[in-house]
């Protein structure tokens, strides 16, 4: 006999899969990014390598292309490139999570996979007042999950928090479990730290980091805390930061601190906050450590409260390609696409070597491509140069390097349908010799430059016949040392 909970899981799954069949050939559907078969997704959750396979969960509303009561969708992969959809892992159902299984993380314990997530309950019809508690669910096969009967495992909010108390990230250090949680107090974002011996009983250890009345937002969502290159990185997604020039331009940001943490004193000393990705669409990033020791990051490749043209086709939301993190000498995070993505390359359609451009050079035509271009600039007259993609009738997405200002600008003003939002820009360390690596999917662009220090991720919604890829130079001659295009 099926339980009522199993029936809910099955009907949600069926709803999304059936709709998925009808929308799979719509033009914005992505070719190599994680998204749901249909309907809405947001944050990546529970990134883990379990029994040799990579698992990624995501915030999922299986009944609509708009956000609603959150489920956990689930995909897995052997290579971080080809993802298989699995049955929905969690559904909101119990008194403690009835309005949503919010974001969280995954651990391996005694051969089982454990999910730690936030149970969300609205206390009023306007969804203003809420109760958030932390919950556990277990699986032996990595596919079917049972909620722990001791749920919620953490519901007491310490004085330093508020009822916004969510997005647990759990990790093991020596023989103890640790957890960071996002919260706020007096409209200042905070991250709280907990310790546990058994994942069920949690001891509050204090505030790990907080907004001390700077421009760091009123709520810190989706924290992640990990060691990298001998330093400790705290990744957060603050809500409510004010734009400062070309910084913090999106509605919400994802960024990080680096510093030193002691498990003896539980104190974290950190430096300043840096935004991690300067594109229009990057939020709620999470990481995990794989068995080769790589710290791999995946983020939601969209932004809250923004026009999402794919909703007309019955879906919204996707996750970025996986990126390997490292730290540079100054303690800044670098992001590199995982090497496994090379296996997506189908055909090298173009290879240009040592070619001088003064104007434009068409180098390809594709909606799914990897583009690698290396420029050298000796002519002081050059005002701008770069790459244009998804070019068509009145449409183009433009990546411009501006030598005088030592910056890279991504312009999606004429990319196609909404969401608009114009320019995003990032500083480059130098502009004499610039390498760009670009991953284009049918409705996204991810740009990696400056050795991974400069990354921009954005959604674009061009018409399906805007396919042109061009290099360009303005004001002088730019030497294209090499340019390669692979269809994916
Ligand atoms: C971040 C977030 C999380 C929350 C989830 C709900 O995008 O708001 O704080 O757990 O999304 O879907």
User: In the numeric block, which tokens belong to residue 390?
Assistant: 């998804």
Tell me the best of 168, 217, 222, 282 to mutate to test the pocket of ligand 1, counting ligand atoms within 8 Å of each CB and taking the most. 222
Tell me the best of 61, 284, 302 to mutate to test the pocket of ligand 1, counting ligand atoms within 8 Å of each CB and taking the most. 284
Task: Give the DSSP H or E segment for 5.
Answer: helix 4-23
Identify the pLDDT of residue 351. 85
- Residue 86 DSSP SS3: strand
Q: Is residue 328 among the annotated active site residues?
A: no
Looking at 303-346, which runs of residues are DSSP E strands? Answer: 315-316, 323-327, 333-337
Distance (angstroms) between ligand 1 centre and the Cα of 42 equals 8
Identify the pLDDT of residue 97. 98
Which residues does a 6 A CB cutoff place in the pocket of ligand 1? 42-43, 59, 70, 102-103, 118, 166-167, 221-222, 283-284
Distance (angstroms) between ligand 1 centre and the Cα of 313 equals 23
Terminal Cα distance for the chain, rounded: 45
Residue 254 near residue 232, CB atoms below 8 Å: no
Q: Which of 43, 224, 302, 411 is catalytic?
A: 43
> pLDDT per position in the chain (488 positions), as tens?
899 999 999 999 999 999 999 999 999 999 999 999 999 999 999 999 999 999 999 999 999 999 999 999 999 999 999 999 999 999 999 999 999 999 999 999 999 999 999 999 999 999 999 999 999 999 999 999 999 999 999 999 999 999 999 999 999 999 999 999 999 999 999 999 999 999 999 999 999 999 999 999 999 999 999 999 999 999 999 999 999 999 999 999 999 999 999 999 999 999 999 999 999 999 999 999 999 999 999 999 999 999 999 999 999 999 999 999 999 998 999 999 999 999 999 989 888 899 999 999 999 999 999 999 999 999 999 999 999 999 999 999 999 999 999 999 999 999 999 898 889 999 999 999 999 999 999 999 999 999 999 999 999 999 999 999 999 999 999 999 999 999 99
ipTM of the complex: 0.99
**Spatial separation of the C-alpha atoms in residues 328 and 331, rounded to whole Å:** 5
- Own/partner contacts of 140-147, CB < 8 Å, gap of 24 or more, are 140/111, 140/112, 140/113, 142/50, 142/51, 142/53, 142/55, 142/76, 142/113, 143/74, 143/86, 143/87, 143/89, 144/87, 145/89, 145/90, 145/113, 145/115, 147/90, 147/94, 147/97
Claim: this prediction has a pTM higher than 0.95: yes
Identify the pLDDT of residue 418. 87
């Amino acid at each position: 006999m099926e339980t009522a909970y199993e029936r809910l899981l099955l009907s949600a799954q069926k709803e999304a899969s059936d709709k998925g069949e009808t929308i799979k050939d719509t033009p914005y559907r992505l070719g190599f990014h994680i998204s749901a078969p249909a309907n809405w997704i947001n944050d990546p959750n529970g990134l883990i390598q379990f029994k040799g396979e990579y698992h990624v969960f995501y915030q999922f509303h299986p009944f609509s292309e708009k956000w609603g009561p959150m489920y956990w969708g689930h995909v897995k992969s052997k290579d971080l490139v080809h993802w298989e959809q699995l049955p929905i892992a969690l559904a909101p159902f119990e008194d403690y999570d009835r309005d949503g299984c919010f974001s969280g993380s995954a651990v391996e314990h005694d051969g089982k996979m454990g999910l730690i997530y936030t149970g969300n309950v609205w206390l009023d019809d306007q969804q203003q007042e809420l109760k958030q508690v932390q919950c556990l669910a277990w699986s032996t096969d990595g596919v079917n999950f049972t909620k722990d009967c001791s749920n919620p495992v953490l519901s007491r909010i310490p004085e330093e928090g508020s009822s916004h108390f969510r997005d647990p990230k759990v990790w093991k250090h020596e023989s103890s479990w640790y957890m960071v949680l996002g919260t706020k107090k007096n409209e200042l974002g905070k991250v709280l730290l907990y310790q546990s011996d058994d994942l069920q009983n949690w001891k509050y250890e204090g505030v790990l980091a907080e907004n001390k009345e700077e421009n760091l937002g009123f709520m810190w969502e989706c924290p992640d805390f990990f060691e990298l290159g001998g330093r400790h990185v705290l990744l957060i997604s603050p809500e409510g930061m004010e734009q400062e020039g070309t910084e913090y331009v999106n509605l919400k940001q994802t960024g990080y601190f680096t510093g030193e943490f002691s498990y003896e004193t539980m104190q974290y000393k950190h430096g300043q906050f840096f935004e991690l990705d300067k594109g229009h669409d990057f939020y709620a990033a999470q990481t995990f450590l794989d068995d080769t020791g790589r710290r791999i990051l995946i983020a939601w490749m969209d932004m809250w409260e923004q026009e999402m043209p794919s909703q007309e086709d019955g879906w919204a939301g996707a996750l970025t390609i996986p990126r390997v993190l490292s730290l540079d000498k100054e303690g800044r995070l670098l992001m590199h696409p995982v090497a496994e993505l090379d296996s997506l390359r189908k055909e090298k359609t173009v290879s240009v070597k040592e070619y001088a451009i003064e104007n434009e050079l068409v180098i390809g035509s594709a909606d799914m491509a990897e583009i690698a271009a290396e420029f050298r600039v000796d002519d002081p007259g050059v005002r701008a140069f770069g790459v244009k993609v998804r070019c068509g009738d009145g449409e183009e997405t433009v990546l411009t390097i501006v030598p005088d200002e030592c910056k890279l600008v991504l312009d999606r003003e004429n990319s196609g349908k909404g969401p608009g939002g114009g320019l995003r820009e990032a500083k480059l360390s130098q502009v004499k010799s610039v390498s760009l690596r670009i991953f284009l999917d049918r409705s996204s662009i991810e740009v990696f430059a400056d050795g991974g220090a400069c990354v921009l991720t954005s959604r674009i919604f061009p018409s399906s016949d805007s396919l042109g890829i061009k290099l360009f130079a303005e004001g002088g001659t730019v030497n294209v040392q090499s340019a390669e295009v692979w269809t994916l």
